[in-house]
Amino acid sequence: MISDETTIIHISDLHIDGLWSNRQMSTQGWQAMADALRRLHPDLVVVTGDLTTHGSCHIEHLYQAREFLDSIGVDYLVIPGNHDLSPSADVRADECYENVPWEHTRFCQVFSQSPAVARTLGPVSVIGLALREGDPDGALTGLQSALAAAPGPVLVFGHYPLRTVRTQGVLSAFGWTQYIPGTLPEFRRILKSTPQVRLYGCGHVHAASVMAITPSLAQISAGGLGPGPSQFWLYKITSADLAFFSMLAEGPPLFWNGEDLAGADPCLYNWGEIRTGRIALTPSHSSSLSVPH
Ligand SMILES: [Fe+2]
């Protein structure tokens, strides 16, 4: 019997052009990745940023990422990370801030989309948001319009976590504050004050995590598909709930190691403690996130 579930795959931080010399997956590795993702028959693949390492400076890397995504052969929705579209002139010297309108950015030239992208998919609306510091592209206005138009539960995707994903080690102090300090608080306020938003999916931190932001809003971050931890999320959605499953992929199993972890277990630090669970999509649930105990 054909399932009436909607399937979304959430991948992040591909760094398809390699992060370091020992973190560059082969062409064959990426082909195997595309085959594996295709065989899961997703209705949509969502990519929460850092498709590349050098795309913010060199457009050819963004084209390389697009070629990979096209090769999966299914519909996809992409959000730029700081490596694809620098969020601020103040961030990092190796990321090229483009002080130009959205339409002229390298990311928009390659992916031809708005800073806020919305889709209706089965029982849910999916919104992807590209945020730069100060919101010069009007992404938050686009988000609010998309939220107002959404008839039911909404899944929002961006690059930066709304809150840190680990309480110890390097990730306890790494997140959005270094990238969009003036803009993320308003983004978070909008999501927290819109109860129909049930999931915020993100990347950036190269660590899988599941946590509650509010009783009705869960945050899920995905691993670093290319450089590690090579993890992604499978979401199976009905009108009642979204079941999530942590999936192993072709790249390195771990990204964070040794002195980064302040004594934490490397496997748990990279992969998180929650690997599967459910998020209720019906408004009657007072708490949306349920995980095995
Ligand atoms: Fe990032």
pLDDT in tens, 8-53: 999 999 999 998 777 789 999 999 999 999 999 999 999 999 999 9
d(CA 12, ligand 1 centre) in Å: 9
Q: Is there a domain that residue 179 lies in?
A: yes
pLDDT in tens, 116-173: 999 999 999 999 999 999 999 999 999 999 999 999 999 999 999 999 999 999 999 9
d(CA 204, ligand 1 centre) in Å: 4
Give the domain CATH number at 117. 3.60.21.10
Q: 169 with 260: CB under 8 angstroms? A: yes
d(CA 4, ligand 1 centre) in Å: 34
- Output phi, psi for 124, to 5 deg: -120, 155
**Which residue range forms the structural domain that includes residue 220?**
6-290
The total domain count for the chain is 1
Q: How many residues does the chain have?
A: 293
Q: Is there a domain that residue 1 lies in?
A: no
Secondary structure element (H or E) that encloses residue 214, with its range: strand 209-214
d(CA 175, ligand 1 centre) in Å: 9
d(CA 153, ligand 1 centre) in Å: 27
Q: Is there a domain that residue 61 lies in?
A: yes
pTM: 0.96
d(CA 42, ligand 1 centre) in Å: 24
d(CA 50, ligand 1 centre) in Å: 5
| Angstrom distance (rounded) from CA 97 to CA 84 | 10
d(CA 291, ligand 1 centre) in Å: 27
Q: Is there a domain that residue 130 lies in?
A: yes
Q: Is there a domain that residue 181 lies in?
A: yes
